[in-house]
Amino acid sequence: MDKVKVIFQDSDLLSLDKPAGLVVDKSNTQNEDTLEDILVNEYKIKLERGGIVHRLDKDTSGVILVAKTKEALENLQAQFKDRKTKKQYLALVHGLVETSGKVEGAIGRNPGDRQKFTVLEEEGKEAVTGYEPMGSLQFTGDSLQEIFSDFNKIQFRKLSTVNYNLFTLLKCFPKTGRTHQIRVHLKYINHPIVSDETYGGRKIVRLDHRWCPRQFLHAAKIGFYHPVSGAWMELESPLAEDLKEALERVKG
């Protein structure tokens, strides 16, 4: 198992830069080679779940917080529950998003597919996600030709018909912490995340995977109060290399 980069650590807490593909904690379907295993075996953290304070999806990269003591864990968990923390993600989405906004839609399991989540206003749990566009992007003609070099004229016309060549890089600010929240909310407003196999749509994701290997979602920054000193802290994770390369391709 590759070494996971440390962003910050002291006697009370640890922050790691989680790579995509690493499952955070054990489950019925994944009981080894998780971040929890790394924390227990390499960092000797004996707390429940290895001291993990919050989750990131398997294919989401970025900053994650871990407590080293029971007191720190309880303090940080309370901050998340009371919404004292501030989280910022980067997401590349399909379509043009021109203005900042907020999605308020309760989230629950999709009745038609229990592996997915969806907006369920009556039965779901409260969920709020703010977003802010950083800029629109599109492939140059040369880039498009290179990525879809095997396409014929009819297939290129189909790309144009579905406005495939238009994307927006967003900063996302989840106020709550529901499973798949950002992914579900962006799908809900018809701007699914690039290469999101669960919520992006099979045909579109097949196109996305030609230039972006996994869902373009990165936990870029987290702000919180230190569990012992009470000082406000902000920790950051630079955009992962695979997503950086994908962004360069769409920039042309």
Q: Which two tokens stand for residue 225?
A: 């109060």
User: How many beta carbons lie within 10 A of that of residue 74, not counting itself?
Assistant: 12
Helix and strand numbers, DSSP H then E, in the chain: 7, 11
β-pairing verdict for 232-236 and 217-225: antiparallel
CA angle 233, 59, 234 (to 5 degrees): 5
Among 2, 10, 33, 57, which one carries the catalytic annotation? 57
Half-sphere exposure of 68 (CA within 13 A, CB side): 14
Q: Which two tokens stand for residue 17?
A: 């830069």
The radius of gyration computed from the CA coordinates of the chain, to the nearest angstrom, equals: 19
Burial degree of 61 (CB within 10 A; 0-12, 13-18, 19+): buried
β-pairing verdict for 113-119 and 128-137: unpaired
> Is 10 a catalytic site residue?
no
The stretches of 104-180 forming alpha helices (DSSP H) are 141-147, 153-161
Q: What letter represents residue 236's amino acid?
A: E
Q: Which two tokens stand for residue 155?
A: 């297939």
Q: Which two tokens stand for residue 87?
A: 């989280």
Question: What is the set of active-site residues?
Answer: 57
